Amino acid sequence: MIHINTNAGIICLIALLVTFFSISWLKRTSVKHVRGPPSPSILLGHERVLRNRSNFGELEMQWARYYGNVYRIRGCFAQDMLVVSDPTTIGYIISSSSSGNRFLKTKDSTFLVDLLLGQGLVTAEGEIHRRQRKVINSAFSHSQLQKLQLRFQDSSDKLVCMIRDSLDAGATVFNVLDWTGKVAMDIIGQAAFQYDFCSLDGKENELREALRHVFIDSQSNPSSRELMLTSLIRHLPDTLLKFLKLVSTRGMAKKAAREVFSQRTGNDEPGNKDLLGVLAKARGAGQMRDNEVEAQLAQVTFVVAGHETTATTLGWLLYELAAHPEDQNKIREEISQARLQNAKLSSNEYDSMPFLNATIKENLRLHPIAPTLMRRAVQDDSLPLSEPIITEDGKILKDIPIPKGQTIYCSIYTYNRLPSIWGPDADQWNPNRFIGDVTQPRTPLGMYGNLMTFGSGTRSCIGWEFAIMEMQVIIVDLLKHFEFSLPEGLNVQEYPAGLVIVPAVEGKANQGSQVPLRVSVLG
């Protein structure tokens, strides 16, 4: 019998990996000629700097001003990665992803979710993704959203009552993220599952507590080891990743999915088009297999934790309105005019309030919670540019050849602040840029207001209209009853927490995401 020394095995594994990467490296078309900031670390590249800082955006904007709308940064293990905010380049990547699947999500961004929860809409690609999205789309149709508006309003009314009770108790300054998190969780629970988290009622709920801040707490300040492990997944061959998924266990997620599904399938109302109703119908019609339905439910539980995306966006909007009280008053004037026609506003009436919707768009522009779309090229390709770039050796390029496997960061944050798109005041709050005759850019992008905050194409956020309606209802209700202002000396920063940005008070990021505001009842 042959005994293999453990250390020798590890050395052999490392040697194999080094050989694999070396061969791959020699065969690659290089993007080393693209200019970019010098790497601060051989092992970690720029990833440690970007993931462990107190304020997002400063480096991105500084590098974009100096190197242009396409530049190169280093990942772990000296991996060259492109950062793009050029609208033509982003448009090409998105349209190619939609039509030919030439750009897919990076392996590290999908592998761990697949491993834990199964292949659902969040991570599926190609024909599987198209089929699943077609089924789930009906749960977010315009007609379905109109039915859900009453649920939005009920939860918003509860929020108003809760705030009044807090003010009556003598408090004046609140972390409004506590409020927006509770109302967003109750809304998505009722709308997607007909499940009440009872967040606004103050009742204990084990599932709610497990989901609170799951993204923020789990992804802030990753260690060097965690960064390198994540980067390693990007390089592993697809066959090895598929094998690892096969030997993984997803028992807990599947069990939870089956329990939720079984509770509804026996007691569901005919024609119910919430998310669970749609999945039940798809399974019955043979459009989705049992394992796909289970994966959707397991990933939807993950997405429920994404209620924090809407909650955080609402928190930023209240912060900007507190900093610009004149804009609060403009929205109140629109509310008064709309309520002259109808005490209960319809979705069309919310959509017909230009300044309300302009502030929502401006907030999404300045504060995209997911600032980057990560993609990888599945074949050798060439990225078109709206403006030529100058390489490190002085050449002028009108397009950039890239190799198969190239990692690309589409910088939504930088695109949303390009002066060439949004004007010379692109880094400032100005909702009026969305009022009146808005000039359309040469390369229109995004699902809403030419913004990339919800993504674009077939991989765009499936619930973006849901989120907009939710924000409309809640902001109108809050401004109808309360006034918001900034406490003295407050400075809220954009704090990077993994793949998202959250608001944190300067110098107090270790206390978690916060938007403390002074609140008073309107006289």
Neighbours of 428 (CB within 10 A): 12
User: Within a domain: residue 153?
Assistant: yes
Structural domains counted in the chain: 2
User: Within a domain: residue 19?
Assistant: no
Supply the CATH number for residue 466's domain.
1.10.630.10
Q: What is the pLDDT of residue 53?
A: 82
Q: What is the rounded distance in angstroms from the CA atom of residue 309 to the CA atom of residue 339?
A: 29
Residue 184, domain extent? 148-209+316-366+460-521
The helix-helix angle for 290-304 and 251-265 (nearest 10°) equals: 100
User: Within a domain: residue 444?
Assistant: no
Q: How far apart are the first and last CA of the chain?
A: 87
Neighbours of 443 (CB within 10 A): 15
Judgement on whether residues 290 and 383 belong to the same structural domain of the protein? yes
Q: Write the secondary structure of 471-496 as one string of H (helix), E (strand) and C (coil).
A: HHHHHHHHHHHEEEECCCCCCEEEEE
User: Within a domain: residue 449?
Assistant: no
Q: What is the pLDDT of residue 250?
A: 45
- Name which of 370, 368, 361, 348 is nearest 471 in CA terms: 361
What are the CA-CA distances from residue 215 to residues 212, 306, 363 (Å)? 8, 8, 21
User: Within a domain: residue 273?
Assistant: yes
User: Within a domain: residue 10?
Assistant: no
Provide the whole-model pTM: 0.82
Binding-site residue set: 461
Q: What is the pLDDT of residue 3?
A: 45
Biggest CA-to-CA distance, the chain = 88
Judgement on whether residues 355 and 386 belong to the same structural domain of the protein? no
Judgement on whether residues 281 and 386 belong to the same structural domain of the protein? yes
Judgement on whether residues 80 and 197 belong to the same structural domain of the protein? no
Judgement on whether residues 40 and 107 belong to the same structural domain of the protein? yes
* Helices assigned H by DSSP within 345-432: 347-351, 354-366, 412-415, 419-422
Judgement on whether residues 268 and 242 belong to the same structural domain of the protein? yes
Judgement on whether residues 78 and 185 belong to the same structural domain of the protein? no
Q: What is the rounded distance in angstroms from the CA atom of residue 215 to the CA atom of residue 301?
A: 13
Q: What is the rounded distance in angstroms from the CA atom of residue 494 to the CA atom of residue 515?
A: 11
Judgement on whether residues 295 and 396 belong to the same structural domain of the protein? yes
Q: What is the pLDDT along the chain (523 residues), one digit of tens a residue?
A: 444 455 555 555 555 555 455 545 544 557 999 999 999 988 888 888 888 788 898 999 999 999 999 999 998 888 899 999 999 999 999 886 555 578 988 876 666 665 555 555 566 666 666 766 666 676 677 777 888 888 899 999 999 999 999 999 998 999 999 999 999 989 988 877 777 888 898 776 666 665 554 554 545 566 666 666 666 666 666 655 554 444 443 444 455 445 555 555 555 555 566 666 666 666 666 666 666 666 555 555 545 555 788 999 999 999 999 999 999 999 999 999 987 666 788 888 999 999 999 999 999 999 998 899 889 999 999 999 999 999 999 999 999 999 999 999 999 999 999 999 999 999 999 999 999 876 666 667 877 888 888 877 766 777 788 899 999 999 999 999 999 999 998 899 998 877 788 899 998 888 888 999 999 999 7
Q: What is the pLDDT of residue 252?
A: 44
Q: What is the pLDDT of residue 473?
A: 96
Q: What is the pLDDT of residue 248?
A: 45
User: Within a domain: residue 18?
Assistant: no
Q: What is the pLDDT of residue 246?
A: 42
Judgement on whether residues 293 and 392 belong to the same structural domain of the protein? yes
Judgement on whether residues 129 and 37 belong to the same structural domain of the protein? yes
Q: Residue 82 in 3-state DSSP?
A: strand
Judgement on whether residues 387 and 501 belong to the same structural domain of the protein? no
Binding-site residue set for heme: 461
Of 436, 452, 473, the residue at which a domain comes to its end is: 436
User: Within a domain: residue 411?
Assistant: yes
Judgement on whether residues 136 and 83 belong to the same structural domain of the protein? yes
